Amino acid sequence: MRTTWTWIAWVAACLWLAGCSDDNGARDVTDVVDEAAEDEATADDTAGDETSEDDAALPEDGITCPDVSPADTPESFEISAVINVIWSRPTAPYVSATLCRYDPAFEWATRWGSTDDCRMRLRHPMAVPSAAALDAGEVTVEIDGTSLGLVPTHPSMPCFLQADGTVPEPTPGGTIRAWSTGGADIPAFDLSLTFPETRPQLTTPAAGETLLTCTPWTFAWEPTDLTDVWVLMRRLLPDDSEFEIGCHPLSLSPVVLPAELTALWHPDLEGAAIEVGVEPHVTSTTDPAVTLAISYSDETARHTVSIARP
């Protein structure tokens, strides 16, 4: 079974995927130390290794970088109420959730720049936030007819939850349902989603390609007509903070990052890992609202790229 820290690290990624915005940052929670973070560090540390210095594209002449600087906008939230069903093949599927209230508000990242679809962020070094559990009563997740209760991952953090039992592999086109009996903080809810029929595969940029800052970057995937697609480009820094560009939700391939955004890429990073997946989600009408999200991807299809400057 996944450790507490591994679970929280995955929640961090997937809650961002649920579609965080300035007025609904409650869908995010920070990464926390353990094997998932170590796995990501190992993967990210290889970013750019597939392209040697001899093979890397040389900076092109005649490119002028836009006159831009990081926005330095703090991102924080006070409540997170999200239930995730996560399947990143070939890893076994699992269920995780946060039903948390943060006091003080949890500042988890600084936004450097954004477009309509994408955000560039510096996630703060991994830490366990101070949070209290929101009472929603008994919470149950059902996957193709198999019901699983949610229980705390650790007695010291009762607002971080995981499935109490083995999670079956969801059936493409099958039903994922989450419901609760209701409690003092969150009224009863009942949410359902259809598990995606397929998951996207990244086609552009190619593994080992060199991207040039101050020029547009194109992310493309197949099938090209999927909805609720996410793209995540990231790299760890020595202090355990993580620099990323995340795009969601996307409905048509490709998405193009403008030169004004790529010019802001972290000056200390010469490579990154790029992943793509699909994440439908539905939100309750309760107050506070609860989101049920499904994240479906292929972790073996990650592309690593090199990054050069003109």
90-103 pLDDT, tens digit per residue, is: 999 999 999 999 98
Between the CA of residue 293 and those of 45, 54, 98, 191, 259, what are the distances in Å?
29, 43, 12, 10, 32
Mean pLDDT of 120-124: 96
Mean pLDDT of 52-59: 43
pTM: 0.81
Mean pLDDT of 61-82: 92
- On average, the pLDDT of the chain sits at 84
* pLDDT score at 61: 61
Higher pLDDT, 6 or 286: 286
The percent of residues above 90 in pLDDT, for the chain, comes to 74
Partners of 132 in beta bridges? 101
Please check whether residue 227 is in contact with residue 251, taking contact to mean a CB–CB distance below 8 angstroms: yes
Q: Kindly state the tokens that stand for 76.
A: 């924080």
Decide if pLDDT at 45 tops 60: no
Residue spans of the domains in the chain: they are 4-308
Higher pLDDT, 17 or 129: 129
Number of other residues whose CB lies within 10 A of the CB of residue 38: 13
* pLDDT score at 156: 84
DSSP per-residue letters across 217-258: EEEEEESTT-SSEEEEEEEE-TTS-EEEEEEEEE-SS-EEE-
Please check whether residue 154 is in contact with residue 128, taking contact to mean a CB–CB distance below 8 angstroms: no
Q: Kindly state the tokens that stand for 72.
A: 């330095």
Q: Where are the beta strands (DSSP E) in the chain?
A: 73-89, 94-114, 118-123, 131-133, 139-143, 146-152, 160-163, 175-180, 190-194, 201-204, 210-212, 217-222, 229-236, 242-250, 255-257, 271-278, 281-283, 291-298, 303-308
- The pLDDT confidence band at residue 56, using thresholds 50, 70 and 90, is very low
* pLDDT score at 15: 43
Please check whether residue 170 is in contact with residue 85, taking contact to mean a CB–CB distance below 8 angstroms: yes
- End-to-end CA, the chain: 47
Decide if pLDDT at 106 tops 50: yes
* pLDDT score at 157: 85
